[in-house]
Amino acid sequence: MFFYLERAFAQPKTVEVILDEGHDRPAFIRPNALFLNKGKQQVISFETGNKSRLILMGDPVVSGRSILGEDGLPDENRLFEQIKGHYYWFWLTPDGLRCGSSFGAIFPVYYHKTPDGIALCSSSVFLASRTGAEPGDKRNLLERLLFNYPFFGSTWWHGIGLLEAHRHIHLSGNRAETEGRFALERYFGAPEDTSRDSLAQLAELFQEECRAFFPKEPFAVSLTGGFDGRTLAAAARKAGKSFFTYSFGRPGAPDVATPEKQSRRLGIPYHPVTLDEQYLDRHALDSAEDFMRLTEYNGNLGRPHYRYAAEALSEKTRYIATGNFGSELFRALHIPGVMMSRPLIDVFSAPDDSWKDILRAETAIWGRDTFAEETDALIADLEAYLRQSEGMDPNHRFYIFVFGEIFRKYFGPELIMQSHFLNNRTPYLNLHFFKALNQTIWSGVHSRLFEKMKSKRMKGQLFYATFLRHADRLLYTLPTTKGYSPADVYEPWRMPMLAGGVLTRKYLKKEFADDNAVDAFFSRYHRAISGEWNAAEMPSPEIRAMLAGAPSEISGGKYFEKWIKLYSILYGWHAVCHQPAEEIPVR
């Protein structure tokens, strides 16, 4: 899926739409022409009155078409509630165009603006090549090193920006502006219903939402040993849908063995994506490098199995339904890791300005002198960002960041990569359900910031248990890989079984090591990955010194997560600095 538009301010006119089915990229460029290539997705168009029309490209789930506000302009609040899923949207009028992305902004909109015009594109690599943008933005690199992904809207290239989530670009006459009235905090609500009765109502609503998300043709459900996927499997069974289940892992891993056994008991076809020695020998390295390329180097080298699974599943179906975004709706994030780094937690949790000193100390690890100007600018921008939400509930402020940045920058690369092979439908990322959930105490929005207390963090599991109890009694009683079943969570008299399962898993049951073969992959191929770049071209002496000591630590089996993160970032840095230009004629 791809789009591109160049608009010259000196010659404003009606935008021409060109559906280009035959090429991954445009065969030619025409000013004021919107090139659309749907790829594995679809293009839908309908009139919205007064010579205007809406074009959707992606995998939209359409339940209504009344997306205009009282002023006759697109209203993201209406758009996101009536058209769910992941897609780009383009609203065309005789004198202009508005362009944006769906709720969560998983599919990115990139732009390059000059005094003479603007270019919009779904691909930062193509846009940089087309505009001659200079690679190697050190501010962008610093944000990746500190937070695992850019905090703001910068990219690998100077002058190429990422459109804010839940905003759109408005082209009219000789101007291009970022606009939008959507405010996530308006949907936070208050926990009016504090009883368990609301869980049954939420379960009924979620079933209806799933019915809308499930495609008419056969599809696959991601079924692991946890709660998110089995809830979707139960919803699909209750809806009478034709589907099969899948999961990936090393032979014998709980996330393979448990779904395989339980799918057989449920009478559902199960297709494992086995991450065995053959996968490691023949596919892992190519899958990792392709994952990076398809995500335009915003992905992570620790996810080759996602790329491998996407291709394997695409041979069986055009759609998968996954539990992405589910856990984050119900429980507060709290553990530093690839989704949120320690410095990110410090920025949002520090009661004073101490986060600035912490950030400077963290930057010194990567190169105090190299990133001196970038550090000052980043701190100033973070101050302004936090000032905008001053006085807001701390957890609410963080949830705005979760929905505006973490979802699209952590989960986004995975879904973008998958879109090259199939469509990932994610019923949990759903504004209508999110709004209803926030009227109850079961929403993670109403937790304390970075809540760590286990008992308060399990309320999401209570929703899943309630749903399964109503939708599928067999799945309700089958155990998870957590050591207990949904029934143990829901029924108070089973509390000893819940506690026993947790303790058994924690103290007695041996953990299955490296269940997705990530450590095995990285320990085997880290030299091949780093062999593609020259350490001398790395941006700071500190980073070069780190790389010199990396092979011995990795070979010793140490700090894989740290090294995978750094290697992923530097892989991208090297790739964009050596990206060949694409020559496309103008007609």
Tens of pLDDT, residues 442-460 = 999 988 887 766 655 567 7
* Antiparallel, parallel or unpaired: β 270-274 and 243-249: parallel
72: left (phi over 0), alpha (psi -120 to 50) or beta: left
Furthest CA-CA distance within the chain? 73
299 vs 572: CA distance, rounded Å: 9
Sole residue written with tokens 């933005």: 137
**Amino acid identity of 339?**
M
- The C-alpha angle 393, 383, 105, rounded to 5 degrees, equals 70
Give the mean pLDDT of 41-64. Answer: 96
Burial call 408-427: b when 16+ CB within 10 Å, e when fewer: bbbbbbbbbbbbbbbbbbbb
Residue with the larger pLDDT of the pair 29 and 112: 112
Identify the DSSP state of 482: T
Q: The sheet that has 33-37: what strands, in order across it? A: 16-19, 33-37, 2-8, 117-121, 110-114, 161-162
153 vs 162: CA distance, rounded Å: 5
- Percentage of the chain beyond pLDDT 70 is 93
Q: Is 90 exceeded by the pLDDT of residue 11?
A: no
Residues whose CB falls within 8 Å of the CB of residue 11, separated by 6 or more in sequence, listed in order: 31, 32
396 membership: H or E segment, kind and range = helix 394-401
Q: Which stretch of 16-20, 108-112, 147-151, 379-383 has the lowest confidence by average pLDDT? A: 16-20
pLDDT at 26: 84
Q: What's the chain's length in residues?
A: 587
pTM of the model: 0.95
Q: Which stretch of 104-118, 336-350, 423-437 has the lowest confidence by average pLDDT? A: 336-350
Backbone angles phi, psi at 511, to 5 degrees: -65, 140
Query: Which tokens in the block code for residue 479?
Result: 């155990």
Tell me if the domain spanning 2-182 has CATH number 1.10.155.
Answer: no
pLDDT at 73: 93
513 vs 242: CA distance, rounded Å: 34
Q: Is 70 exceeded by the pLDDT of residue 583?
A: no
In Å, what is the CA distance from 480 to each residue of 62, 229, 244, 441, 459?
34, 11, 19, 25, 16
Q: The sheet that has 423-425: what strands, in order across it? A: 270-274, 243-249, 219-222, 319-321, 423-425
Residues whose CB falls within 8 Å of the CB of residue 170, separated by 6 or more in sequence, listed in order: 96, 97, 98, 176, 177, 178, 179
Sole residue written with tokens 């856990």: 327
Q: Is 80 exceeded by the pLDDT of residue 192?
A: no
Report the candidate in 587, 439, 418 with the shortest Cα–Cα distance to residue 18: 587
**Could you tell me if 265 and 271 are in contact, meaning their C-beta atoms sit under 8 angstroms apart?**
no
Give the mean pLDDT of 233-251. Answer: 97
Report the candidate in 151, 148, 565 with the shortest Cα–Cα distance to residue 341: 148
Topology given in CATH for the domain delimited by 195-333+400-507: Rossmann fold (3.40.50)
Q: Is 90 exceeded by the pLDDT of residue 483?
A: no
Report the candidate in 304, 292, 249, 335 with the shortest Cα–Cα distance to residue 532: 292
Q: Is 70 exceeded by the pLDDT of residue 587?
A: no
Q: The sheet that has 96-101: what strands, in order across it? A: 42-49, 52-62, 83-93, 96-101, 168-172, 175-179
Report the candidate in 225, 228, 183, 222 with the shortest Cα–Cα distance to residue 206: 228
Give the mean pLDDT of 281-293. Answer: 98
Backbone angles phi, psi at 223, to 5 degrees: -115, 110
Query: Which tokens in the block code for residue 170?
Result: 């408005």
Cα four-point dihedral sign 339, 260, 471, 211: positive
In Å, what is the CA distance from 434 to each residue of 61, 325, 490, 543?
16, 11, 22, 42
Report the candidate in 63, 66, 69, 56 with the shortest Cα–Cα distance to residue 101: 56
Domain ranges of the chain: 2-182, 195-333+400-507, 342-396, 518-577
558 vs 556: CA distance, rounded Å: 6
Per-residue pLDDT band at 505 (split at 50, 70, 90) = low
331 vs 334: CA distance, rounded Å: 9
* Residue 268: Cβ within 10 Å count: 17
Per-residue pLDDT band at 494 (split at 50, 70, 90) = low
Query: Mind listing the pLDDT tens digit for each residue in 405-455?
Result: 999 999 999 999 999 999 999 999 999 999 999 999 899 998 888 776 665
Q: Is 60 exceeded by the pLDDT of residue 507?
A: no
Query: Which tokens in the block code for residue 463?
Result: 């929703």
Q: Is 60 exceeded by the pLDDT of residue 244?
A: yes
Alpha helix ranges (H) inside 120-170: 124-131, 138-147
The three-state secondary structure class of 83 is strand
**Could you tell me if 4 and 26 are in contact, meaning their C-beta atoms sit under 8 angstroms apart?**
yes
**Could you tell me if 178 and 109 are in contact, meaning their C-beta atoms sit under 8 angstroms apart?**
no
pLDDT at 10: 85
Residue with the larger pLDDT of the pair 24 and 285: 285
Residues whose CB falls within 8 Å of the CB of residue 308, separated by 6 or more in sequence, listed in order: 248, 273, 275, 279, 283, 284, 287
Specify which residues 157 forms β-bridges with.
135
Give the mean pLDDT of 149-170. Answer: 98
Mean pLDDT over the full length of the chain: 92
**Amino acid identity of 149?**
Y
Query: Which tokens in the block code for residue 131?
Result: 């505009």
pLDDT at 134: 95
Q: Is 60 exceeded by the pLDDT of residue 119?
A: yes
pLDDT at 319: 99
Q: Is 60 exceeded by the pLDDT of residue 214?
A: yes
- Percentage of the chain beyond pLDDT 90 is 77
Q: Is 70 exceeded by the pLDDT of residue 481?
A: yes
pLDDT at 453: 62
Sole residue written with tokens 């050596």: 578
